[in-house]
Amino acid sequence: QLVESGGGLVKPGGSLRLSCVASGFTFIGHGMNWVRQAPGKGLEWVSSIKSGSTSMYYADSVKGRFTISRDDAKTSLYLQMSSLRAEDTAVYYCARDKYGAHWFDPWGQGTLVTVSS
């Protein structure tokens, strides 16, 4: 129901745009989120966007470098990442809000971003 794409190898300081295509539910009515997981590490919430793009939220670690957006007509979620650092290396998951609250379900399969020279 959620399929991410756009990951890959990028040099420090570079940019990358992740996409997440949703299906099987009414995309327009749900808040959406990005969560990442560095190799061998725990989960880190990255960013969220409310339905209707009314508000966006970011973790301090990515604020000013990442931008979350959505296209309801394309049932798609995006994460524009710039000024990438080695510590941004992770699997990036998109996830939907559930029950009108910030509980994450379902999740996509994830897309790997590697920042390395």
Partner 1 sequence: DIQMTQSPSTLSASVGDKVTITCRASQSLSTWLAWYQQKPGKAPKLLIYKASSLESGVPSRFSGSGSGAEFTLTISSLQPDDSATYYCQQYNSYTSTFGQGTKVEIK
Integer Cα distance of 107 and 117 in angstroms: 30
* Binding-residue total with partner 1 (CB under 8 A): 26
Q: Does 25 bind partner 1 (CB under 8 A)?
A: no
Footprint of partner 1 on residues 32-71 (CB under 8 A)? Answer: 33, 35, 42-45, 48, 50, 55, 57, 59-60
Q: How much helix, strand and coil, in percent to the nearest 5, is found in the chain?
A: 10, 55, 35
3-state SS assignment for residue 34: strand
Footprint of partner 1 on residues 75-114 (CB under 8 A)? Answer: 93, 98-99, 101-110
- Closer to partner 1 at the Cβ: 71 or 105? 105
Closest distance to partner 1 from the beta carbon of 45 (Å):
4
Integer Cα distance of 60 and 44 in angstroms: 11
Indicate left, alpha or beta for 54 from its phi (over 0: left) and psi (-120 to 50: alpha).
Answer: alpha
Interface residues with partner 1 (CB under 8 A) are 31, 33, 35, 42-45, 48, 50, 55, 57, 59-60, 93, 98-99, 101-110
